[in-house]
């Protein structure tokens, strides 16, 4: 029987994020992390591929070391954020319309960061047994479709000239795409996004489901893999990454891809930073205990490790009942729906920031996310701000109560 408790992503308490980050940094410096990244590179699962021409080492070996070092460095500098389930659902709702502005660094809430979401921002399904093809663990005839949720994202600004090596060696950065592999041009500015999935939430399949062949030649089951992942390693595991070029437009969204998830992340940044009449988010800061801060410092973590809990602003927050109804329909492994929280999703508006200069073409524009038209349960009041409007007869009638 499948254990239903293992099917869902269960987010941590926000106060746990500093410890999670510490575990990630420690893990990235370990041999298991190097081996995992090396296999990802060999299997073509990594989007960003660093190489060092002239070194007496395989591309996968040196690439894994560079990726792990870069990842650990970004996490050590990262400001920590937790997006509540409501905030996650709002970002997903608004991101149904892709960002129209070019990638802008000022949208980042911090130069480097890690945000954990209260619900998955996406996911993908693949056959874990088929993914072992070409390895000693492959077992002909095995089939094990697995849905992996994406629940966290780390980021930093980045240039391909950022990593210096000893003895004058230089790193050549390439990016995989459907068109093949291309070199990242030097002296260009990017935003590096890394996507994380939960460790130990391998399948949700029956424990005796055969995935492949174990080291002893016998069948390797879903239970075997889940058990191995639970014994060691941090709560999150590296899934993939991508680069957003500063000043470039967003790529068209494709389901279950890093490109689509990047729309959600960028939209969340927009919502977090938007001020004025439509302020979407409010932030609660959780300080780090002194003992934890000392432990972080010993680990080389330079961020103060405060956690910023990002809520939907109280003037836009959905009713608890609506959130609960949406949660019941969520699988915990894919992005949730928002049919109750936001029956009509927010939308983007191209806003001129300097209307007086608009006619002369000297103005600048940016995305602003505004509320869609409002609808809700028939006959129920709907709170849109500090005023509640009740319609007890059709809108064309003169009889209303305010």
14 Cβ neighbours under 8 A, 6+ residues apart: 82, 286, 307, 309
CA distance 278 to 116: 24
- Picking from 192, 182, 133, the residue whose alpha carbon sits closest to that of residue 162 is 192
* pLDDT score, position 355: 79
Give the confidence band of 59 by pLDDT, cuts at 50, 70, 90: confident
Q: How confident is the model at residue 232 (pLDDT cuts 50, 70, 90)?
A: low
Quick one: pLDDT at residue 57?
Answer: 72
Judged by phi (left if over 0) then psi (alpha if -120 to 50, else beta), residue 125 lies in beta
Give the tens place of pLDDT for each residue, 97-118.
899 999 999 999 999 999 999 9
In sequence order, the 6+-apart residues with CB closer than 8 A to the CB of 106 are none
β-pairing verdict for 236-245 and 190-198: antiparallel
State the pLDDT at residue 191: 97
CA dist 47 and 40 (Å) reads 10
Q: What is the mean pLDDT of the chain?
A: 84
Q: What is the 3-state secondary structure (H, E, C) of the chain?
A: CCCHHHCCCCCCCHHHHHHHHHHHHHHHCCHHHHHHHHHHHHCCCCCEEEECCCCCCCHHHHHHHHHHHHHHHHHHHCEEEEECHHHHHHHHHHCCCCCCCCCCHHHCCCCEEEEEECCCCEEEEEECCHHHCCCCCCCCCCCCEEEEEECEEEEEEECCCCCCCHHHCCCEEEEEECCEEEECCCCCCEEEEEEEEECCCCCCCCCCCEEEECCCCCEEEHHHHHHHHHHCCCCEEEEEEEEEECCCCCCCCCCCCHHHHHHHHHHHHHHHHCCCCCCCEEEEEECCCHHHHHHHHHCCCCCCCCEEEEEECCCCCCCHHHHHHHHHCCCCCCCCCCCCCCCCCCEEEEEECCHHHCCCCCCCEEEEEECCCCCCCCCCCEECCCCEEECCCCCCCCCCEC
pTM (2 d.p.):
0.85
Does the pLDDT at position 397 exceed 50? no
Do the Cβ atoms of 238 and 196 come closer than 8 Å? yes
Give CA–CA dist 121/118, Å, rounded. Answer: 9
Query: Three-state SS for 28?
Result: helix
CA 199: distance to chain centroid? Answer: 15
pLDDT-derived band at 391 (thresholds 50, 70, 90) equals very low
Model pLDDT, residue 6: 56
Please give the share of the chain, as a percent, with pLDDT higher than 90.
45
**Per-domain residue ranges of the chain:** 4-344
Q: pLDDT grade, residue 212 (50/70/90)?
A: very high
Tens digit of each residue's pLDDT (9 = 90 or more) over 117-168? 999 999 999 888 888 887 788 999 999 888 899 999 999 999 998 665 555 5
Dist CA 107 CA 93 (whole Å): 19
Task: Answer for the pair 203, 226: CB distance below 8 angstroms, yes or no.
Answer: yes
DSSP per-residue letters across 154-216: EEEEE-TT----GGG---EEEEEETTEEEEPPTT--EEEEEEEEESS----S-TT-EEEE-TT
């Amino acid at each position: 029987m499948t254990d239903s408790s293992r099917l869902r992503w269960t987010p941590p308490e926000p106060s746990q994020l500093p410890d999670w980050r510490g575990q990630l940094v420690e893990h990235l410096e370990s041999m298991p992390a190097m081996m995992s990244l090396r296999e990802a590179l060999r299997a073509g699962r990594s989007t960003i591929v660093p190489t060092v021409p002239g070194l007496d080492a395989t591309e996968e070996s040196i690439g894994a070391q560079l990726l792990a070092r870069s990842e650990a460095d970004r996490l050590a500098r990262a400001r920590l954020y937790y997006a509540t389930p409501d905030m996650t659902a709002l970002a997903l709702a608004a991101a149904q319309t892709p960002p129209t502005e070019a990638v802008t660094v000022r949208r980042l809430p911090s130069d480097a960061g890690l945000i954990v979401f209260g619900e998955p921002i996406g996911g993908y399904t693949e056959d874990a047994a088929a993914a072992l093809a070409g390895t000693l663990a492959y077992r002909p005839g095995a089939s094990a479709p697995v849905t992996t949720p994406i629940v966290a994202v780390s980021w930093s600004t980045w240039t391909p000239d950022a990593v210096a090596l000893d003895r004058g060696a230089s790193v050549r950065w390439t990016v995989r795409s459907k068109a093949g592999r291309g070199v990242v041009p030097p002296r260009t500015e990017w935003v590096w996004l890394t996507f994380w999935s939960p460790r130990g939430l391998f399948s949700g399949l029956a424990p005796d489901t055969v995935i492949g062949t174990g080291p002893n030649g016998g069948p390797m089951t879903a239970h075997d893999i889940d058990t191995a992942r639970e014994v060691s390693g941090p709560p999150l595991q590296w899934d993939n990454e991508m680069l957003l070029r500063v000043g470039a437009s967003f790529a068209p969204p494709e389901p279950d891809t890093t490109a689509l998830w990047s729309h959600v992340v960028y939209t969340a940044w927009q919502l977090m930073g938007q001020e004025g009449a439509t302020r979407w988010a409010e932030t609660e800061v959780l300080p780090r205990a002194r003992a934890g801060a000392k432990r972080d410092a010993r680990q080389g973590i330079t961020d103060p490790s405060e956690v910023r809990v990002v809520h939907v602003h109280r003037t836009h927050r959905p009713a608890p009942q609506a959130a609960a109804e949406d949660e019941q329909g969520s699988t915990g492994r894919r992005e949730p729906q928002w049919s109750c929280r936001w029956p009509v999703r927010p939308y983007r508006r191209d806003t001129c920031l300097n209307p007086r200069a608009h006619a002369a073409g000297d103005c600048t524009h940016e995305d602003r996310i505004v509320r869609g038209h409002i609808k809700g349960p028939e006959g129920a009041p709907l709170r849109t701000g500090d005023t509640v409007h009740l319609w007890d007869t059709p809108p064309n009638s003169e009889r209303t109560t305010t």
